[in-house]
A and B are shown apart, each in its own frame.
Chain A
Amino acid sequence: MSSATGMGAGAARTRAALLAAPALVVFLAFWLLPMARLALFAGQGPSGIEAYWAVLAHPQYRASLISTILLSGLVTLATLAIGGITGVFLSRHHFPGHGLLAGMLTLPLAFPGVVVGFMVILLAGRQGVIGQLAAILGAGRPVFAYSMTGLFLGYLYFSIPRVLLTVMGAAEKLDPALEEAARSLGASPLAILKDVVIPALSPALIGAGALCFATAMGAFGTAFTLATRISVLPMTIYTEFTLFADMPIAAAMSLMLGAVTWAILALARQATGAGVAAAA
């Protein structure tokens, strides 16, 4: 091959190295090196290496970690249920307005987390539409945008489009003959769903679920808009860094968070062969 391209193997390798070098140097200088510095930095605070341990031992940080995991887990389950059902449905049935519906369901994909937070404020904030409707119905004026419920809605908002796209992609590749066979053998629709459709979709569901969980764990923008009083992990990191200037703790926590989200996404890639996180 090297002779066909008119270069020796050595020359081809040099050319490849030269072409790849700029990107790799930038990555090394602006990501790998700073992250290594961050890891060292986390160990150089007053508590030394124990900064890492403090994240787990300190009640406040531990509570923040636990509530973040619980919230992300709940959001993942709810998103998989909603995204799974609507995704399979939309990939099966084509009807007038199908494209519009699919378009509306995936539009928020490009919204940054802050905008998602504002969407929840418009729904459930002080001048939100839910409160106004409730007031008309005489049910008071509920405001829950700034609570755990609001955060849950926000995370759901940015998770649904991502999961939906993955499920739709996978559902379109399912072989309808399998379901046809099950049906002709007398299986009920629910049995087909349980024994044929869900098993066939499970790699996509696992991948989408992992992506959803990792994104929720690291979500900063939405929490920043809504969770001034709720300490989910990204908010705790941010407050430690800016308000209390406890930078070693902030560094340790952000590294641990990064390791967790990376590991989950790597697992997802193993399960599905694809998967990209995106910030929210």
Chain B
Amino acid sequence: MTGRRLLLALPLALAVATSAFLIVPVALSVLAGLSVNWQQGLAGGLTLHWIGEVWTLYADTVVRTLALAFATVAVDQLLGVPLAYVLARHPSRRARLVEELIMLPVAVPGLATALALIILYGGWHDFRGSSAFILVGHVLFTLPFMVRSVLAVLAAIDIATLEEGAASLGAGPMRRLLGVVLPNARPGILAGSLMVLTLSVGEFNMTWMLHTPLTKTLPVGLADAYASMRLEIASAYTVVFLLMIIPLLLLMQWAAPVRRRPRTTRP
């Protein structure tokens, strides 16, 4: 009996210790970001001074990061939704290959993709120095997530049969697209968009290589702050990042297409 007890207690202890390892530093960054002086700990009192300091130093990175994230979502929707539709309607070996191909920028470290972009397009100065250069990297990295999300929804509802039904009632291609395909794809587009927002807001590996001093994003600014700012400012900046990313994560949970439901219960 004690053996079974132990078999329960040990994993629970490990789970608690692991979550402590993951969460304690997050809590520390919040406390340090709000503390007057982290050397003195909480005894020194709490303040929003450092958050304000971060805002004066780095507000532009927050704005650029959000703008880039929404632009990435828009481009991904324009490129990814039609592609997902085609892949769902024409499942074939070629479709599998395309799916594999667009996955490559995720499977290969961002550093390699960024180097490749710089070597081929780095000479176009206006492009290299603009946020569009970063946008390209973000689109490459996030597009497969949009495509997969939409594809999963379209495949699950058997869009081909639905469209055939609409066509037999006389709906033309445009009508079917707007009246059948897009409304049915909406949960996938929503979940994909939130995923893409989250990934874009946090992207560092490519962005660090692609940015210029005039096109810094939030994670790039964070790396700067970690290297050169006092701990309170670095922490407060991290808090700003958490404030952006945690609502996105909660929204993602809320918008996730219901996956738990066993498929067999469907008639």
A160 proximal to B (CB < 8 A): yes
Q: Which listed residue (B11, B120, B145, B234) contacts A85, Cβ 8 A?
A: B11
Cβ B110 vs Cβ A34 within 8 A:
no
Q: Which listed residue (B113, B117, B204) contacts A221, Cβ 8 A?
A: B204
Which A residues between 111 and 143 are near B, CB-CB below 8 angstroms?
A: 111-115, 117-123, 127, 129
Cβ B108 vs Cβ A261 within 8 A:
yes
Cβ B109 vs Cβ A129 within 8 A:
no
Given known A34-B120, A37-B119, A254-B109, contact A114–B204 (CB-CB < 8 A): yes
B71 proximal to A (CB < 8 A): no
Q: Which listed residue (A6, A23, A110, A114) contacts B223, Cβ 8 A?
A: A114
Closest Cβ neighbor of B140 among chain A residues: A31
A196 proximal to B (CB < 8 A): no
Q: Which residues of B contact A218 (CB under 8 A)?
A: 108-111, 205
* Complex CA–CA separation, A180 to B145 (angstroms): 39
Cβ B90 vs Cβ A16 within 8 A:
yes
Q: Which listed residue (A7, A31, A110) contacts B113, Cβ 8 A?
A: A31
Cβ B16 vs Cβ A122 within 8 A:
no
* Complex CA–CA separation, A1 to B163 (angstroms): 10
Q: Which listed residue (A41, A86, A129) contacts B28, Cβ 8 A?
A: A129
A225 proximal to B (CB < 8 A): yes
Cβ B226 vs Cβ A123 within 8 A:
no
B106 proximal to A (CB < 8 A): yes
Nearest-CB distance from A76 to chain B (Å)?
16
B164 proximal to A (CB < 8 A): yes
* Complex CA–CA separation, A214 to B106 (angstroms): 11
B residues contacting the other copy or chain, number (CB 8 A): 92
B4 proximal to A (CB < 8 A): yes
Q: Which listed residue (B109, B110, B167) contacts A4, Cβ 8 A?
A: B167
Contact count A vs B, C-beta below 8 Å: 248
Q: Which residues of A contact B179 (CB under 8 A)?
A: none
Q: Mark B6-45, 1 if CB is under 8 A from A, else 0.
A: 0110111011101101111110110010000011000000
Q: Which residues of B contact A32 (CB under 8 A)?
A: 101
Closest Cβ neighbor of A111 among chain B residues: B202
* Complex CA–CA separation, A16 to B160 (angstroms): 13
Q: Which residues of A contact B86 (CB under 8 A)?
A: 16, 19-20
Cβ B203 vs Cβ A119 within 8 A:
no
Interface of B is mostly: helix
Q: Mark A1-25, 1 if CB is under 8 A from B, else 0.
A: 1001111000000011001101110
B67 proximal to A (CB < 8 A): no
B219 proximal to A (CB < 8 A): yes
Cβ A247 vs Cβ B119 within 8 A:
yes
Q: Which residues of A contact B231 (CB under 8 A)?
A: 127
Given known A34-B117, A110-B249, contact A86–B11 (CB-CB < 8 A): yes
Nearest-CB distance from B108 to chain A (Å)?
4
Nearest-CB distance from A238 to chain B (Å)?
7
Given known A37-B119, A118-B234, contact A104–B241 (CB-CB < 8 A): no
B50 proximal to A (CB < 8 A): no
Interface of A is mostly: helix
A157 proximal to B (CB < 8 A): yes
Q: Mark B203-239, 1 if CB is under 8 A from A, else 0.
A: 1111010000000000100110011000100110010
Q: Which listed residue (B107, B110, B167, B246) contacts A220, Cβ 8 A?
A: B110
Interface 9-residue window, one of A50-58, A87-95, A198-206 = A87-95
Q: Which residues of A contact B32 (CB under 8 A)?
A: 122
Nearest-CB distance from A6 to chain B (Å)?
5
* Complex CA–CA separation, A214 to B3 (angstroms): 37
Q: Which residues of A contact B22 (CB under 8 A)?
A: 104-105, 107-108, 157, 160-161
Closest Cβ neighbor of A33 among chain B residues: B120
Cβ A86 vs Cβ B14 within 8 A:
yes
A209 proximal to B (CB < 8 A): no
B178 proximal to A (CB < 8 A): no
Cβ B109 vs Cβ A122 within 8 A:
no
Cβ B219 vs Cβ A22 within 8 A:
no
A189 proximal to B (CB < 8 A): yes
Which B residues between 94 and 141 are near A, CB-CB below 8 angstroms?
A: 98, 101-113, 115-117, 119-121, 136, 139-141
Nearest-CB distance from B45 to chain A (Å)?
17
Nearest-CB distance from A167 to chain B (Å)?
12
Given contacts A112-B202, A122-B32, A257-B109, 11 further A-B contacts (CB under 8 A): A4-B164, A19-B85, A26-B140, A37-B116, A111-B245, A118-B234, A224-B204, A254-B111, A257-B111, A258-B108, A262-B104
Please give me the 8 A-B residue pairs with the lowest Cβ-Cβ distance, nearest first. A218-B109, A34-B116, A89-B11, A258-B108, A119-B25, A254-B112, A19-B82, A23-B79
